[in-house]
Structure 1
Amino acid sequence: MRAFLAAVALFAAGPALADGERAGEFDYYVMSLSWSPNWCRMEGDARDSEQCDEDFGWVLHGLWPQYHRGWPAYCPTTQRQPSRQQTAEMADIMGTSGLAWHQWKKHGVCSGLSASAYYALSREAYGTVNRPEVFRKLDKAVKLPASVIEEAFMKANPGLEKDMVTVTCQDGFIQEVRVCLSRDLSPVPCGRDVVKDCRMKDALFEPIR
């Protein structure tokens, strides 16, 4: 009985992170965009991150290979690790070279691509989604419904449907916008385990620094 209950609890917890899966075998991508001023308030300032010294807005957190249920991570790969120059060249859209390295190590290796090709695809994905300029015009912190962020992205990107984008919150702040993309970077519906829409009506949103 104890073993049965443990199995039920494991199933109810939802899809687990699948470490060490075969590289290149996945269904679609999740592109995660983080609002840099909020991240700096939550974590970056305490880390003395160089990202927080710049006027970043929506930065690329990562481009994540995804299954229809669950996701791979830390896949074995024969691809060469990215050079310091390659990770440094991603800092203009990712905030820091350290994040670029971490994203390759955890997610990029599962794409089946070389580091240079993965970074190029990540940059292309970042460029395919219009980031609403209205948020850069804020001159003070505001509280707003998370749904406003989602609606702004759909308005700026007519090809995006409600089931293709989700907004997450953390510690009372808007955290990320996640957009689901096919392997050729066309918008696609997100899996159920990806859609985690924040329901907050008064989420904090910091202005550009």
Structure 2
Amino acid sequence: MVTGIRSSLRLACIAMCAAAIGGAHAQGDRSARPGDFDYYVLTLNWSPTYCAGREDSGNDRGRSSRYDEEADTGGGYRFFNDRRNGRSSGSDEQCNGSRPYAFVLHGLWPQYERRGWPESCRTDYRPWVPNELIDRMLDIMPSRQLVIHEYKKHGTCSGMDPRGYFAAARKAYNSIRIPDEFQDLTKPLRVGPEEVRRAFLEVNRNLTPDMVQIVCSRNRLQEVRVCMSKDLQPRPCAESRRLCNYDTVTMPPIRGGGQGPRGGPTQRGDRL
């Protein structure tokens, strides 16, 4: 009897371990071929939440930012080159109020229809993002390190070179209108995740609720994600799970005052 129980427990453990390994593989597939995916997720990050999170964790007192840490895993050499060239790290500029970042482009992520996504795909060329191209993306992406990281992790799986990938990312970003009430936020706003979704649906009539996902970090709005086909047309998301379990979240105000990158005079000035 005891032997039978032990055998059952052993089999259950093996099954759970196999499931865990399979799930981990499904979430980040590094064996994928470039271009072998089903659809995109356009990710719009509420920049003030990122900056508030840095302050919460003490990052502004000398610790690295989340974007910096991500960049160091795939393109840290470029980060150090930037410092030698006298360029700012990007994250400081994002949060010091010198530019009023609001909804910024986090990335355009290839996804699988059945759970997970490809990442860091092997290419037959060096996945180097030229400085000139990085500079041209900084009106909608707030960090040089983020630009580099996004191409290395996600862009390499798109089947496009850096110029083609960021042209597609800008086109996708420009295709989504940001609601006016989020363009010039000077005070913290308490809002329900579904209110944020409805606000985007009202000004983007080609979207339906199943195409838009709301993501929160603790009790703050973190991201709005829009699912798109490979030709950048809105489509339903494959996963319908809720990514924010709060009834209301806070949107910290835009730093530096004024409107964010989608509301300023250079909104669409820097084209690839």
TM-score norm. by structure 1 comes to: 0.92
Q: Which runs of 5+ in 1 are unaligned?
A: none
Check whether the contact 1:31–1:178 (CA below 8 A) recurs between aligned residues. Answer: yes
One-letter amino acid of the structure 2 residue matched with residue 205 of structure 1:
M
What is the aligned partner in structure 1 of residue 93 from structure 2?
50
Among 218, 222, 242, which residue is 1:175 paired with?
Answer: 222
What is the aligned partner in structure 2 of residue 63 from structure 1?
108
DSSP 3-state at the match of 1:117 = helix
The aligned runs of 1:35-184 (5 Å cut-off) are 35-43=46-54, 46=60, 47=65, 49-52=92-95, 53=97, 54-69=99-114, 70-80=116-126, 81-184=128-231
What is the aligned partner in structure 1 of residue 267 from structure 2?
none
Distance in 2, matches of 1:164 and 1:59, equals 19
> Structure 1 residues 26-35 or 43-52, which shifts more?
43-52
Question: How many residue pairs get matched?
Answer: 208
Distance in 2, matches of 1:12 and 1:63, equals 22
**Could you report, residue by residue, the CA deviation over 1:143-184 in whole angstroms, capped at 9, with x for unpaired residues?**
221111111111110111111010000121100000001111
What is the aligned partner in structure 1 of residue 254 from structure 2?
208
Distance in 1, matches of 2:141 and 2:193, equals 22
Query: Could you say which structure has the higher strand fraction?
Result: 1
Q: Which runs of 5+ in 2 are unaligned?
A: 1-10, 66-90, 256-272
Seq. identity, %: 38
What is the aligned partner in structure 1 of residue 31 from structure 2?
20
Relative to structure 1, the CA distance from residue 196 to residue 15 in structure 2 (aligned partners, 3 Å threshold; closer, same or farther) is farther
Larger Rg: 2
TM-score norm. by structure 2 comes to: 0.71
The alignment's C-alpha RMSD in Å is: 1.9
